[in-house]
Amino acid sequence: MDLTDVIILVLLISILILCVLGFGIYFLNIQYQKQTIDKQLAIIQEKTLRLDDESEYGDTKSMENNLPKQQMAPQMAPQMPPQMAPQMAPQMPPGVPINIPTRGMEEYRQLGILTSLSDSKIVIPLYGRRTYVRSQHWNYYTLTNGYQSIQISVSNKNKDCSEEYGCDEIYSDDLIYIPAYNENFRALMYKNNAPRYIPYI
């Protein structure tokens, strides 16, 4: 055996030892992660059982103030019109909220009408809102003409106006393509941009 054979043998043995050591560390890491996950699952199950017990038997600490305000003072409860559904508070999931419109979000409103250019002379409403406050892009949609109105998308300048980024603002006499009807419509926008009286100022 010469010197090169000894060096090769030492290198092979050291590589083998490093591989065994690496596999050992890998399997120990997997065991540690499994134990951590098992501990977290046990904590979650314990908290779930505790919450179930509290909801079943009631929380004795806050028993005195557990009634809604309407039940505590029924003569002061606001009267809701019967045709309106009660407002439900949005349920927020635990953790950091996502997709919250920080610039505010306008509600959809009817901005005008769309008239077909074909012989059918279909007239349908055009609803829209800005993608966010003071944006130059808008989200638009319309409703089908008939007994059961269905919301359908609108295309302006080959852009779908119902997508996240919207499309350019629609003006009167613009030609709007509606894929559901497979034809172009002419827009007639309402003149509702005039200043209005604000009684709170």
Residue 31: φ, ψ to 5°: -60, -45
Pick the more confident residue, 55 or 152: 152
Of 100, 165, 103, whose CA–CA distance to 132 is shortest?
103
Banded pLDDT at 57 (limits 50, 70, 90): low
Q: Which of 75-79, 109-113, 121-125, 159-163 has the lowest mean pLDDT?
A: 75-79
Name the helix (H) or strand (E) containing 12: helix 3-57
Instruction: Write down the pLDDT at residue 73.
Output: 46
For the chain, report the end-to-end CA distance as a whole number of angstroms. 100
pLDDT tens per residue across span 11-22: 999 999 999 999
Of 159, 201, 200, 199, whose CA–CA distance to 179 is shortest?
159
Banded pLDDT at 201 (limits 50, 70, 90): low
Spatial CB neighbours of 104, under 8 Å, sequence gap ≥ 6: 132, 133
- Supply 97's token pair: 């909220």
User: pTM, whole model, 2 decimals?
Assistant: 0.49
**What is the signed CA dihedral for 100, 101, 103, 106, rounded to 10 degrees?**
-150
Where along the chain do its domains lie?
1-57, 109-189
